[in-house]
Amino acid sequence: MSVSDSHDRYAVIGNPVGHSKSPFIHGRFAAQTGEPIEYGHLLAPVDAFVPHVRAFIEAGGRGMNVTVPFKLDAHAFANTLSPRASAAGAVNTLRFDANGVYGDNTDGFGLVRDIEVNLGVSLKGARILLLGAGGAARGVVLPMLDRSPHTLTIVNRTAAKAEALVDQFAQAARDAACRLTGGSARAIEAGTYDVIVNATAGSLDASLPECDDRAFGAGTLAYDMMYGAHPTVFMEHARKLGARGADGLGMLVEQAAESFYVWRGVRPDGAPVLAELRTLLTAPPHA
């Protein structure tokens, strides 16, 4: 019997996808848990998401991680959605079983777990500032509200987008007894925030999001969803203002761990995999 016959098949689908760390992460999770999975990556043309997924299912595939640019396609493809996927309007995790196609979004869970478990910062009762109002931001609002913060302020260059998110999550905020506000950079209240999350893509081109420097302080965790071998410009800016900086590598590992749990019902430990990935990311290239 070959490995393919005895192992359940999973993959990450995207375009591009060759750079994805998901095969490495899930390979480590499989070794750690003893779960019999085989995990690869699948490059799909931007206009051919559905046929590629169907072919994967027909070949015995059990689940997928979904990355850019297919998270909206995956949302439309699923016939059952988790509450957090419905709220996010996007899917990053697909599970294929006798009930059909289940779509979930583990990004926000990964962010919250990285902040609370790996970085040791509780979001309960915290003053949180979320920079950006695109898909990345929308995917994390509900999981953050679930932690019952004191305040969540959403700021975006186009104020109407931030205000739309405030409207979308108003009931969830009331349920969490959290004051939810948003708008342009002027919506930032006086005083430092406990947690500032950069959900913009600014770090990709080394640009800073609009944010009042007075929002940062010695007790602030400044979290950038982007990651790289070196601190992002947002992290460097935050550190100059006395804040603690963190990147999104832990979010990547923890959202993967939650996907693994959605598929297998087993929760792997993200911390050792994160440590190994960090070492690999920052190691100097071989001569």
Which residues fall in the annotated binding site for shikimate? 20-22, 67, 92, 107, 227, 255
Closest CA to 243 of 204, 178, 197, 180: 197
Sign of CA dihedral 51, 52, 53, 59: positive
Alpha carbons 40 and 20: distance in angstroms, whole number: 10
Alpha carbons 248 and 228: distance in angstroms, whole number: 9
Q: Which residues are annotated as a binding site for NADP(+)?
A: 132-136, 156-161, 225, 248
Closest CA to 105 of 130, 135, 129: 135
Question: What is the number of residues in the chain?
Answer: 287
Based on the residue annotation, tell me whether 240 is a catalytic residue of this protein: no
Q: Which tokens in the block code for residue 256?
A: 């993967």
- From the candidates 71, 95, 237, 264, give the one annotated as an active-site residue: 71
Alpha carbons 160 and 182: distance in angstroms, whole number: 9
Q: Which residues are annotated as a binding site?
A: 20-22, 67, 92, 107, 132-136, 156-161, 225, 227, 248, 255
C-alpha torsion angle, residues 272, 248, 182, 123 (rounded to 10): 20
Question: Would you name the residues annotated as active-site residues?
Answer: 71
